[in-house]
Amino acid sequence: MPRVSIDGREIEVSPGTSILAAARELGIDIPTLCHLEGCAVQTTCMVCLVKLQPSGRAVPSCATLVQDGMRIDSETPEVRALRRTSLELLLSHHLGDCAAPCESASPAHLDIPLMLRQVADGRLRDAIATIRREMALPATLASISADGGEKACRRGLIDAPVGINAILRFVAESDLASNDPYVPACGQQTGKKVAIVGAGAAGLTAAYHLLRMGHACTLFEKHSMPGGLLRDALDAACLPHDFLGAEVAIIARMGAAMVMDTMIGTPQKLDELRARSDAVLVAIGSIADGTADPLGLPSVRDRLKVDLTTHETGLPGVFATGEVIRPGKVLARSAADGKAAALCIDQYLSGRTVSGTERAVNVRMGKLTETEVSLLVTQVSSSASPEPGGSGRRLTLDEARAGARRCLQCDCGKKDGCKLREYADRLGADPGRYKAERRRLERVVQQGGVVFEPGKCILCGLCVDIATRVREPLGLTFIGRGFDVRVGVPFDRTLSEALQRVAARCAEACPTGALAIRPELCGDGTCDRCRSRGG
């Protein structure tokens, strides 16, 4: 029985065992994209590289069998650098958006395509849950915001962008008007207390997210009612405050305490809050130009001097957010800053390093040609009519669903299960490290919502192997040679003909979402889902 050492840990394994399998027996997670138990060894991704000692030779762990006495390094800085390079080479010609442009442009980073899919299906309860994962005040902000991501919507290159803001407002207001408004669950109580000075967009949003994380929150507001500049914006737009009051009530139901008509305007008052709280968040409006801040915190012109990544003021346990750090009265931005500050405070209260919001690697296709966008339009609703609502009129359910079906579904079908993205995050890979000529966008949609996007394919060969093993009559194959090789269907037949038995299995095995099941793009009019959406 061969005995080997991996990262200084010894193990005895059966003859014929790969280094990858031996490492997994030890609980060592070596990343791999092209390996799947039960499939042939591919060695195409080179992300599972390890280093042999004393030779220093780098080998793919999935294809290298152990030999007695081997000493293997799998987690050194040098090995990680080799894996990172492999990932960056794969990413250099990966054509796909991890997150849709509208999501990236949304201050709240709302998963807009998912929300639109849920609205298109009439699943408004799911849609409001998606919205409220990211937004504390969706109805209020949608009422006064001019853009909920529409400016980035690719559909606008062809006819008109999807009316994201109007649809979001419809969902949020419909929920508040129902007999059972959605109230997010709060996490297990941590016993930590946070005092928030200011109950405007930033303070309310911060409280909302801190409560969801399990921390107790008390808001202190100098006015008699919470809302701050939100109330001024609603008045300017001649809109009632009903939905603001309802959204504040949800935050109160989640456990927030609100102390009105209370001015925290001196260093002594701030010290008192610090003495009885585990953290303090300053979320007041901008301070007067050229004057010292009344709380005694350092200021620069009309804002507090803070670290914009961590929201730390320099005073231990005291953070700042919103208008006071980023003047401009952009309320959606202030709300997003409130959420970011909540994440930083949570890091502080849990004893972690305060590092700010961590964003996953996000590959972007960039600007598409009209021809490429036209291809996407043919796969969704062809209606060119933008949703009414720009004049302030609220949508009907039918209008909201019809508008949602206009979404091109630019996001990745495997955004939350893509191994390429997961390992790029883990190893700190830079998608822009190496430049390659951008591929032409292709998206093949077949019956049942089986979608193939060749630009995302890394030629791992798993789908080819799976189809071969189950003896698909046609299956998939490698077409071409050298740099032009690609995965495709033989004899120019359709994807539906190629994968009659194992489409779902191939999609599940695909490490990048090049093959995915996307029912929202089915559109053949034969399934129950299509009929419920109007074909």
- Does the residue 307 lie in any domain? yes
**Which of these three, 63, 90, 117, is where a domain ends?**
90
- Does the residue 218 lie in any domain? yes
- Look at residue 531 and tell me whether its pLDDT is greater than 80: no
**Which of these three, 303, 325, 349, is where a domain ends?**
349
User: What is the pTM (predicted TM-score) of this model?
Assistant: 0.91
Confidence tier at 388 by pLDDT (50, 70, 90): low
pLDDT in tens, 6-58: 999 999 999 999 999 999 999 999 999 999 999 999 899 999 999 999 999 99
Q: Does 82 share its domain with 219?
A: no
- Look at residue 526 and tell me whether its pLDDT is greater than 50: no
Pick 146 or 475 by higher pLDDT. 475
- Cα(142)–Cα(523) distance, integer angstroms: 30
- Does the residue 24 lie in any domain? yes
**What per-residue confidence (pLDDT) applies to 386?**
65
Poorest-confidence range of 25-34, 154-163, 287-296, 509-518?
A: 287-296
- Cα(509)–Cα(322) distance, integer angstroms: 44
Strand partners, 4: 11
- Cα(276)–Cα(387) distance, integer angstroms: 50
CATH of the domain at 23: 3.10.20.740
- Does the residue 211 lie in any domain? yes
The residue segments making up the domain with residue 523 are: 439-533
pLDDT in tens, 310-369: 999 999 999 999 999 988 778 999 999 999 999 999 999 999 999 998 888 899 998 899
SS3 content of the chain, % helix, strand, coil (to 5): 40, 10, 50
Q: Does 206 share its domain with 344?
A: yes
**What per-residue confidence (pLDDT) applies to 294?**
67
- Does the residue 304 lie in any domain? yes
Residues in the chain: 535
- Does the residue 486 lie in any domain? yes
- Does the residue 372 lie in any domain? no
- Does the residue 485 lie in any domain? yes
Q: What is the mean pLDDT of the chain?
A: 91
- Look at residue 202 and tell me whether its pLDDT is greater than 80: yes
**Which of these three, 334, 349, 364, is where a domain ends?**
349
Report which of 295, 275, 278, 277 is spatially closest to residue 287, judged by C-alpha positions. Answer: 295
- Cα(322)–Cα(345) distance, integer angstroms: 14
Report which of 300, 283, 280 is spatially closest to residue 291, judged by C-alpha positions. Answer: 300
Q: Does 201 share its domain with 80?
A: no
Q: How far is CA 105 from CA 149, 154, 168, 421, in A?
A: 6, 12, 15, 20
Question: Could you give the number of structural domains in the chain?
Answer: 3
- CA 86 and chain centroid, separation: 24
- Look at residue 475 and tell me whether its pLDDT is greater than 90: yes
Q: In what order do the strands lie in the sheet with 49-53?
A: 9-12, 3-6, 71-73, 49-53, 58-60
Token output for 507? 């999609």
Confidence tier at 290 by pLDDT (50, 70, 90): very low
Cis peptide before 54 (omega within 30 of 0): yes
CA-CA-CA-CA torsion sign (185, 107, 226, 269): positive
